[in-house]
Structure 1
């Protein structure tokens, strides 16, 4: 590390303790995310599987009754519950239907009852089939957030445990700089997050470590005048280990430790650091500006992709019944949905209307007026 002088013995050195910590709030976060993923799977999974089976050979019934049915919408996420009874080939059936999908449109839904011609016990409302791809997408996104988040936390804990095991093996050390990403103080303990550096730039994912009461991460001013965390990289380990102010994380003799600290402090004093000043890193919160920029960039890309595919669908798609295009056009605000349906009608007016563009009869085009063209 050219930024800081820290002379270590030219021999294999062992790292003491467990220098790598698991992700913050690991157990709590994993339990909550896993519970949400399992709850979502129990809530929506069976209904999606049922409606997928029905969609393979659907049959619309006339002899049925809705005992109780209601849809509620919260910020575009619509949740529908219905209890239905029906008869088919002399046998009576009853079932509960639950489904959730994304829809920004307002108003009531008119539905039919659809069963599987292969298994009449499988029944759903036509809205469930119309929104099947929408529901699958919503389910996949939330499962990715909940289940993927839990798996990411578990993977981070596994990596930390593996790195702690590897760090026990003695090896030669290179002194390297690291960039502190944040310090989380819990009572007297500190949880420090830091990044590896490559040519002064952050590299790789965040590494976390735990300092007990009375311990401080070793901080220093480098040759370029910037503040760095002082770490060592064992020859057999890919992740650097940030050192503590007293060098107790390294298995050194007392004379070796004092010699290294004396050279380090002398250099820091020449650079204008008051003794003890580098011992306490400034507590850093999250970088809100960078987070907002990153989130805004992702959101912008998503919006561009969303509207780009919608324009492709209504203006150039070869099939009016493209499932993704139908769902996007259906959730568009009224004026945009109407405009999109007009473009589709200009190209596919001789065919039945896709969902989102249908009139009251569920077949004709709602934008066609008296000149509606229906596929015979």
Structure 2
């Protein structure tokens, strides 16, 4: 039994127009994210590929010169550039390097010129190799966000087009409730976002639809007095299609449309009001708040996971030179970094210090130097 009394003819009915809209700001978002992905690839891609090759067979050049070397940090993302000048095997080389990585520590970087033994024209900074996995991770995360956003937009547009083509095929319809999340009025049209529901709870992803000027979504009170949007689900369409208040989206004749609406209105009046004329209130602020809270939740989980792994690495890890552990420990604020290095030195103090815990000679433990100064 339907949650509302909306009698539709006992036959196959087609849905008119294009009831499922593509994602909001799709073209702008695709162009912006694609541009960012291409820009990031041009900026960091060649340098990462160069340093991956160098890391296979590196050789440090003590006489190599680093000219105009500069690093700048913005909210943890460090960007370094330098001009490298060096001689090798009777030839002179002059190349520019640029690299970006995540690092929350402060202070200067001591660097050397490193080249590939087999390809001496490939040169980088020793810092670039030390931060190689950090750089790859940062590059992968940003590319995943940018490319993933483009794919998500294209997938949403493809789903909308497929649903609209299927909706035009006459089929049996079932009246279902949907939860309207918000209405956005643009250029005389209304874009409504809604969710399918099951047992009063949201189900699946958000669906977006467009109403022309003068149209409004068909809203209804259920038997418990809760407001829902009235939608139909066709045997050919997986997504529910939100109806308009005049049922113009259904291929009905005037008599069928009038009978359905009059019966619906009588029931709604008995439930406390003519819900067909009740507009859904925009909830842009609530959606923005939910998105912010969701993003903060993911960030908190990510930070918690990294901190937990760092604690494991410095207190219980079996290898002081584990790459991810070293990177996290190096990014920690100085008091936490020193504490972590003390834990590592207590367990691995007989050997060379790992990255993030080295003194100025890049070999001994900086915790030992700190203790001597105090």
**TM-score of the superposed pair, with normalisation by structure 1:** 0.96
CA distance in 2, matches of 1:144, 1:122: 28
Q: How far apart are 1:370 and its partner, in Å?
A: 9.5
- Which SS does the other structure have where 2:47 is aligned? helix
**Alignment partner, residue 190 of structure 2:** 190
Residue 342 (str. 1) matches residue 342 (str. 2): yes
Change (3 A) 1:338 1:15: same
Trace 1:65-76 onto structure 2 (pairs within 5 A).
65-76=65-76
**Alignment partner, residue 7 of structure 2:** 7
Q: How far apart are 1:187 and its partner, in Å?
A: 2.6
Q: CA contact under 8 A between 1:3 and 1:224: conserved in structure 2?
A: no
CA distance in 2, matches of 1:51, 1:275: 65
Q: CA contact under 8 A between 2:265 and 2:276: conserved in structure 1?
A: no
Change (3 A) 1:371 1:78: closer
Q: How far apart are 1:289 and its partner, in Å?
A: 4.6
**Alignment partner, residue 115 of structure 2:** 115
Any stretches of 5+ residues in structure 1 without a counterpart? none
CA distance in 1, matches of 2:371, 2:288: 55
Q: How far apart are 1:275 and its partner, in Å?
A: 7.1
CA distance in 2, matches of 1:202, 1:132: 43
CA distance in 2, matches of 1:108, 1:303: 25
**Alignment partner, residue 303 of structure 1:** 303
Q: Deviations over 1:201-226 (max 9, x none)?
A: 10000001011111111111111111
CA distance in 1, matches of 2:354, 2:276: 72
- Which SS does the other structure have where 2:330 is aligned? helix
CA distance in 1, matches of 2:227, 2:221: 5
Change (3 A) 1:221 1:99: same
**TM-score of the superposed pair, with normalisation by structure 2:** 0.96
Residue 257 (str. 1) matches residue 257 (str. 2): yes
Q: Deviations over 1:133-170 (max 9, x none)?
A: 11111111111111111111111111111111111111
Q: How far apart are 1:342 and its partner, in Å?
A: 0.8
CA distance in 2, matches of 1:371, 1:294: 43
- Which SS does the other structure have where 1:84 is aligned? strand
CA distance in 2, matches of 1:352, 1:259: 85
**Alignment partner, residue 281 of structure 1:** 280
Q: CA contact under 8 A between 2:83 and 2:95: conserved in structure 1?
A: yes
Residue 176 (str. 1) matches residue 190 (str. 2): no
Q: Deviations over 1:228-277 (max 9, x none)?
A: 00000001221111001110100001100000000011111111214763
CA distance in 2, matches of 1:112, 1:329: 22
Trace 1:135-284 onto structure 2 (pairs within 5 A).
135-274=135-274, 277-278=277-278, 280-284=279-283
Residue 89 (str. 1) matches residue 94 (str. 2): no
CA distance in 2, matches of 1:275, 1:99: 60
CA distance in 1, matches of 2:319, 2:107: 28
Query: RMSD across aligned C-alpha pairs, in angstroms?
Result: 1.5
**Alignment partner, residue 106 of structure 1:** 106
Any stretches of 5+ residues in structure 2 without a counterpart? none
How many residue pairs end up in the alignment? Answer: 371
Q: How far apart are 1:188 and its partner, in Å?
A: 1.3
Q: CA contact under 8 A between 1:194 and 1:208: conserved in structure 2?
A: yes
Q: CA contact under 8 A between 2:359 and 2:369: conserved in structure 1?
A: no
CA distance in 2, matches of 1:371, 1:104: 23
Q: CA contact under 8 A between 1:81 and 1:99: conserved in structure 2?
A: yes
Q: CA contact under 8 A between 2:178 and 2:231: conserved in structure 1?
A: yes
- Which SS does the other structure have where 2:367 is aligned? coil
- Which SS does the other structure have where 1:287 is aligned? helix
CA distance in 1, matches of 2:227, 2:114: 67
Deviates more, 1:347-356 or 1:323-332: 347-356
